[in-house]
Each structure stands twice: as C-alpha cells, then as structure tokens.
A and B are shown apart, each in its own frame.
Chain A
Amino acid sequence: MPVLDTKDILETIQMIQDDCLDVRTTTMGISLLDCACEDMDRTCQRVYDKICRLAKDLVQTGEEIQRQYGIPIINKRIAVTPIAMIAGPSGGDPVKLALTLQRAADTLGVNFIGGYSALVQKGFSPGDMALIRSIPEALSVTGNICASVNVGSTKAGINMDAVVLMGQIVRECSERTAERDCIAAAKLVVLCNAPEDNPFMAGAFHGPGEPDCEINVGVSGPGVVRAVLAKNPDASISELADIIKRTAFKITRMGQLVGTEASRRLGVPFGIVDLSLAPTPAIGDSVARILEEMGLESCGACGTTACLALLNDAVKKGGVMASSRVGGLSGAFIPVSEDEGMIAAATSGALSIEKLEAMTAVCSVGLDMIVLPGDTTAEVIAALIADEAAIGMVNSKTTAVRVIPAIGKEVGDTLQFGGLLGSGPVMRISKCSPERFIRRGGQIPAPMQSLKN
C-alpha cells in the first residue's frame, strides 16, 4: 500500500481550497438512435424515457463522489445523439424534441443536455435542415439545452452553405432573446472537426460511433497551474513546460479517478477524460492569468500565442500519461466571458478578436463566448465562422465559434449571462463586408492533409 506523504496531502487540499481545483463535468453520453420512429410524439416519449432511465442516478452519484473524495464536481450533464438524426426519421417539428430534452433535464436535475446538433460538413439531410432552422426557437424556449452544428472537417472540407446559414441562425438566436442578454446565442456553437465524445458544453454531443451509454469526464484547474507557476517566477521556459506537465498529470489523475468511480457506481462504461483547462469567471480560475504569469503584461500582448501553445502542449503531455483514455477537446479553453482575465484584457482593449483568432490555431477550441456589436451582420458572422473552420480544417484540429451579437449594444457595453457563462464586453470587429464571398455558397474542398490513405 503506498505511503501517504504529508506534503502531498496538503498540496491537494490547497489545490481544491485555494486554487479552485475541481472536476468541471461528468457527462453521460446517451445514444438515442434506437428511439427514432416515424411518429414524432412517440419518438419524444422514447427519448424522455431512455434518458431518464439511464441517467436517473447521475446527479446523486456525482454528489456522492464529491463527498467521498472531497473534490467539487461542478456540473452533471448529458450529451445525446445529434438530434437531427432522430428528427429526420420522425418528421415533424424538432422543437418538440428540444422541449422533451428540457423536460428530462428538469426531471433529472442536470445542468445541461447537449446534442441539439447536426453534422453537415458535407451536406444536409432533411433532418439536418429542419433542425438547424429550428435552433433559434429551440434555444429560446428552453433553458438547459445546448446546440451545435459541425460545418467542416479536415476530411470533408467546409460546407459554405451551412456556414452562410449559421451566420443567420446565430444572429436570429440573439434577436429572439435580445431582452435576456441574447442568451440563446451563448448556447449555440458552430464547429469544425467536432469531437464525438466531448463532455463540455455547448459542443457536447454523443457521436454515432459511441457506445449506447458512457461516462466522460472534463477536468479543470487553470487556478492550480497559475499558482504553481507563481511559485517559480525565475524558471526558464523549459522548466515551465515541465512544471505544467507535472501539474496537469495530477489534475488528470483526479479526473480519471472520478470517471472510473462514476462508471463503476452507475454501471456504465468509462469513456474518456477530456484534458482541458476550463476557466470560470471566478478570480483565480483563469487561463489568461496563466499566460500573464508566464511573463506577459496582459493577455493579448505579443507573445500570447506562443505562451498558449506551450501551455496547451504541456497540459496534453502531462495529462496523456495520467489517463487510460483521453478524448474530447483536450487543451486550454479561451472563452472570453467565462474567464476573469480574458474579460479584463478584452475590456482594457489589450485583447482583440484578431489575436483570439491567432490563439485558436494553437489551443483546443476557438472563438468562444465573444460578444459582438449588435449591428454585426449575418454575413460577417458567417465569414468569421469560415475563418475559424479553415484554421481547424487545415490544422486537423477542432475549432469552434460561439459568438453573441449583442442586439442594440455597441463597443463599451456589456452582456451579463450569469453563472459559469459569465459576462462579456462587446468587442470590436472589422466591418468590411465579406458579403460577396459568403453569398457564393458551395464547398471549400478538403485540403491535401485529408489524403492520408
């Protein structure tokens, strides 16, 4: 039996108590493929019954594990099969399925259900089109449902017709919920190379290649990484990388333990640990502050991309050894409104959308939780999506866009989402029109990188 070391025990307690260490989410992935039938109402009933049967103990089990190990488990979530696949065969209005998911979320007490999604990187099926068109309504009549649309991949290229449509859908989401700080747009993400086992919202869905049911875990811990860097102010960059790896190892082992235990208690296979540094708006839980701790005056300064690349790589290297199966997004997240340091940098003007775009080339996601001026057109949003998708497609990585046009607001104003979604200042964006490019439609062909066979 291993000997416990006093130093290790106190370090763990300090990580949890002072440095905001937590497991961000235990997400149960549930396949709904067997729920689809030709009648929408019957499909809805089957969906509700299956989710409630498989996830009935999810919240309680999370709470039990939290008490046993003393680790906060912040969210208990569910990811389901992309609803477009269910809505297609059932016909009828997909919003009924969104309301069904909301009813299941209310019954179970989970924080979010993700998977109001469509995968359209190469084209639309009728179910995909119906679902995408219903997203603004679905997200404005529900509170805990997240939607995502995959518009591109390294293998398929970028579906520009979907990109154009998503520019309009994002704007419509904001318009429909303008009096509620445009919250619907904060629950919608447009992806390229979407992972099928991602436990994090808003992009979580349960891919068609996944088992019937599984448990995925998303760890957190930017505060812990920042704290350990603060203790080594004179370390060289090589030493910093090593320190981050060691810390990521510890954080991930905790996630692995929680995932294994949740899987055992729920009798559901363990899927993956997502090795992500996921910030929150709380002080001391910020990815931006890690970059600043490395030596930048502010996040957004020249050097930010290099620091983030180092951080992202070291987190993966440390985490990979700590977990039996790694998946999801796995890397550092850089949402603006959900990160106290990012909010400060964006408010002061040190951090621009262009810099954020560069950062997305080296980290795990994309332009996330960015508030745009209210007069930003659907074409500009679509072009922003196309830029991000291009970065993801060419670099064989996941990229995403979750932007919120702040209807009726301009630079200098702020949107308040509350909770983990935080608050974000309206950021400046180029107003030059990409309209002619966007109106062309069609498909950006897959790059040479796709021809690996």
Chain B
Amino acid sequence: MRAVVTVIGKDMVGILSKVSGACAEANANVIEVTQSVLQDMFAMIMLVDISGLKLSFDQFAAKIDTIGQEMNLSTHVMHEDIFNSMHHI
C-alpha cells in the first residue's frame, strides 16, 4: 500500500527533513521524491510505502498536516489508488 504526500508552499530550510522525519517516525518508507523550487515556491511529491505504518492512516495524515500548518505549507496525504483510478485506464 502506498500513499502520496504532497507539500506546496514558500521555500524554507528544513521542509524535506521535517516531512521525511515524520515518515520515518511513522515507519513509512519513502520510495520516491520529486521536488522542484520555482522562484521561491517549493513543490514536493513523495511516494511512501505505508504497509508497515505504525500509526493509523488518519494519524499519519494528521501528523503531516500539523507540519504543514506549522510551516505554513499546503500538504495532502492521499492513498495512491485515487490517482491510479482517475488517471489510468
């Protein structure tokens, strides 16, 4: 089972570290990261394996959400199936 974590907002020090730290704490293995910084806007998409998650999916999503709020970033944690079903036939 995999989830997609997206983080969008103003670039600042430590975004990747905080988000990946939260993943590590929850035992979510980061499989892939794409990130880009356009002028000062930061956009990161992280694919994480959540099959060994120590928390519930809700708790994990809430944790990432808290980081987003602290750093004033827009974050989303969504199960990968939503993208697979919407964009693949």
Contact = CB atoms under 8 A, between A and B. Distances in A.
Interface of A: 2, 4-6, 8-13, 17, 64, 67-71, 250, 253-254, 256-257
A67 B61 contact: yes
A8 B77 contact: no
B86 A70 contact: no
Contact of B58 (A5, A64, A71): A64
Contacts of A253: 85-86
B84 interface: yes
B76 A254 contact: no
Contact of B57 (A11, A13, A68, A256): A68
Contacts of B6: 9-10, 13
A8 B84 CA distance: 9
B45 A71 contact: no
Contact of B81 (A5, A69, A250): A69
B47 interface: yes
Interface string B66-89: 000000001011111111111110
Nearest to B88: A2
Q: Which of B43, B61, B84 has the most CB of A within 10 A?
A: B84
A179 B51 CA distance: 55
Contact of A70 (B43, B76, B88): B76
B78 A4 contact: no
B34 interface: yes
Name the residue in A5, A6, A12 with the highest tally of chain B Cβ atoms < 10 Å from its Cβ: A12
B51 to A, nearest CB: 13
B84 A2 contact: yes
Contact of A69 (B74, B79, B87, B88): B79
B4 interface: yes
B41 to A, nearest CB: 12
A67 B57 contact: yes
Given A4-B47, A6-B45, A257 B85 contact: yes
Contacts of A67: 57-58, 61
Given A5-B87, A253-B85, 20 more contacts: A4-B4, A8-B83, A9-B4, A10-B43, A12-B78, A12-B82, A13-B76, A17-B74, A68-B58, A68-B78, A70-B76, A70-B77, A70-B78, A70-B79, A253-B86, A254-B82, A254-B86, A256-B85, A257-B85, A257-B86
Contacts of B84: 2, 4
27 contacts: A4-B83, A8-B87, A9-B6, A10-B6, A10-B43, A10-B45, A12-B82, A12-B83, A12-B87, A13-B6, A13-B76, A64-B58, A68-B79, A69-B79, A69-B81, A70-B76, A70-B78, A70-B79, A70-B82, A71-B82, A250-B87, A254-B85, A254-B86, A256-B85, A257-B81, A257-B82, A257-B86
Interface string B5-21: 01000000000000000
Contacts of B34: 6
Nearest to A4: B83
